[in-house]
Structure 1
Amino acid sequence: MSEQQQKAERKLLRRGRLTDRERERLAEGREDKIHERPLPPGADRWSTWGEGELGPEPRPEWLVVADGAVDSRLGVVKTGKEADVHLVERWMPNEDAYDFASGRFDADEARDPDPDAAPGVPALATCLLAEKIYRGNDHRNFHRDASYLDGRRTRESRLDRAVANRTRFGLKVIAEQWAVAEFAALGTLWEAGAPVPYPVQRVGTELLIEFIGDPDGSAAPRLAALRPEPDELADLWGQLCAALGYVARAGYTHGDLSAYNILVHHGRLVLIDLPQIVDLAANPHRGDYLGRDVANVTSWFAARGLPDAERRGERLLEDLRYEARLS
């Protein structure tokens, strides 16, 4: 590193900002320290918290962010054309269960609650996450990428050309763009107040997001699986209109909305699967995507008996175009 680069780095550090080199050094030190210990029984890896991109602040109170936490994969939530989703539990092992003499955790006590936990503090910190891993290039279907990626550009013309020409390198760029786009969209929409899962972190093409379901690991059902009564149907339509309003005011539309990527958890509607989110300011096909999103969900509600569904859908589209400032 040149003297000029060293001065620039010291200047950034004095301002409280970490340079890329300093981040790498800290990450390497953290990794070395963590891997001095073996994993406790039942854990698949040490927590990846602190790596890659992190979700917006303030972070939810339920989220476990300690460096000493571990991740356990509990099973598959769903598989799809673009990605697979696994259920992950992030939890803090009981430090008293670590035997320094043997260098191992006691298998029977690693998950025992801390008897000395202060009142009001969880005795064993734990949370459930959804781990979404995008498929490799050989297993993905890119036939729809072109129109979705219109308006998305990198900062390097070389990468843009590779994406446009669908070279092997370009396909790798596209694969990560989906993960980057979904993580960024979730963060933006979460901060805007939209009902979406909290985005915990992104490392490459792996996302960790809030698990929408029950503490026992039961996932919330998709809207498509429900047969709601008339009152519930009307309530869900109202929630959907409000949710899409948040999305439109943020400048987006879902891009692939249907009853299959909407969850309903104890009556609360949640939008999921947002890698193809469409920027309504930049994408030249914005009107088509917005109209299709509204038509898809309106058709489902109409088939379930929502009164005057066609007129409601037309009004919703008008409202969303207004919220998004589309002419």
Structure 2
Amino acid sequence: MSSATPERETESALDPFFTFDFQAVDDPGEGQRWSTWDSIERLCRGPEPRPDWVVTDASAIDTELGVLKTGKEADVFLLERTSTNDAGRTVVMAAKRYRSTDHRTFHRSTSYTEGRRTRKSRDARALAKGSEYGRAVAAGQWAWAEWEALKTFWSDGIPVPYPVQVDGTEILMEFVTGPDGAGAPRLAQARSTPAMLATWFEQLREAMIGLVRAGYAHGDLSAYNLLAAGERLVVIDLPEAVDVVGNPQGMEFLHRDCRNVAAWFTSKGHEVDAEALFADLLAYAY
């Protein structure tokens, strides 16, 4: 008769294939959370090939680092994502979080959204009624619109921050830095020289051509929606990207973008003709 206890018999009967070692991990501390990368759908992850700096570990921890900037419809925070398997695998990202319409000061949404469609009839009705659910849908729509724009433009080679993931009303994206590693300033606050202005404008012109080729105008382009990362210019704040064909006001938005950037560059000593720029872009619109 065997003297082994039932527990020992069960233990010895286990197939080694189905056993594994594990290490218990404590819950993240205050201001932290587990990475949401593994819990979101594939369509909510950035386009491939992904940059090497993107941390995709399911067990990574996100740590809040504070507010980067506040805006009309969203706030941008700094978020550090670190692998628990390799502490050297860490990255700081920009987390853009859209507010509900109860806490926003953005009033021009109807002119920007003409030509856009809402997939679910329930969502369309809620948006029309302005219900609490409708306000939540609206915030999500703006986040999704910017997410889709970032994915499209990044894949087309337009200089925008790499979009890492979207989860509800939060978009995680590349934190654009300058040569010193600090956050890149907006073009309006960047130090310039005549040579640098010429370099920046040529990059901006190429970016605007890329947008038009993709069928879009930025919709709110100015020196405050561009980052100067050294000699590199990066286009940001894209929830208002306008379909230049599907939106009845698409060409007017494009024309306004041209006037805004031409006025800024001209004021800094680099002469730009807004009408010539607009005519140049129209050649790529169809």
Instruction: Classify the secondary structure of the residue corresponding to 2:283.
Output: helix
2:76 alignment partner AA: V
Aligned to 2:165: 201
Write the mapping of 1:204-223 to structure 2, written as runs, cut at 5 A. 204-213=168-177, 218-223=182-187
Instruction: Tell me if structure 2 keeps the 8 A contact 1:47–1:70.
Output: yes
Instruction: Say if 2:255 is the partner of 1:278.
Output: no
Rounded to whole Å, the distance in 2 between the matches of 1:87 and 1:158 is 34
Farther off after superposition, 137-146 or 284-293: 137-146
Aligned partners of 2:116 and 2:23: how far apart in 1?
Answer: 39
Tell me if the contact between 1:257 and 1:293 (Cα under 8 Å) persists in the aligned partners: yes
Q: How does 1:13-28 map to 2 (within 5 A)?
A: none
Structure 1 stretches (4+) deviating beyond 6 angstroms?
A: none
**What SS does the aligned partner of 2:59 have?**
coil
Percent identity reads 50
What residue ranges of structure 1 are gaps of 5+ in the alignment? 1-33, 96-110, 112-123
The CA RMSD over aligned residues, in Å, is 2.2
Counterpart residue number, 2:49: 58
Larger Rg: 2
Q: Which segments of 5 or more consecutive residues in structure 2 lack a partner in the other structure? A: 1-21
Please state how far the C-alpha of 1:47 moved relative to its aligned partner: 1.0
Output aligned runs, 1:37-76, within 5 Å.
37-39=25-27, 44-52=32-40, 53-76=44-67
Q: TM-score, normalised by structure 2?
A: 0.85
**Do the aligned partners of 1:227 and 1:304 also contact (CA within 8 Å) in 2?**
no
Count of equivalent residues: 262
Instruction: Give 1:58's aligned amino acid.
Output: P
2:261 aligned partner, one-letter code = V
Q: Which whole-Å deviations, capped at 9, do the CAs of 1:187-226 have from their partners, x for residues lacking one?
A: 0000000000011000100110011015986210000002
Q: How does 1:73-152 map to 2 (within 5 A)?
A: 73-94=64-85, 111=87, 124-152=88-116
Whichever residue aligns with residue 323 of structure 1, its letter is Y
User: What is the match of residue 279 of structure 2?
Assistant: 318
CA contact (8 A) 1:77 1:219 kept: no
1:148 to partner: Cα distance: 0.9
Deviates more, 1:141-150 or 1:127-136: 141-150
1:188 aligns with 2:152: yes
Quick one: which of 171, 186, 193 aligns to 1:229?
Answer: 193
TM-score (normalizing by structure 1): 0.75
Contact 1:87–1:217 (CA under 8 A) maintained in structure 2? no
Stretch of structure 1 that moved more, 177-186 or 132-141: 132-141
Aligned residue in 2 for 1:16: none
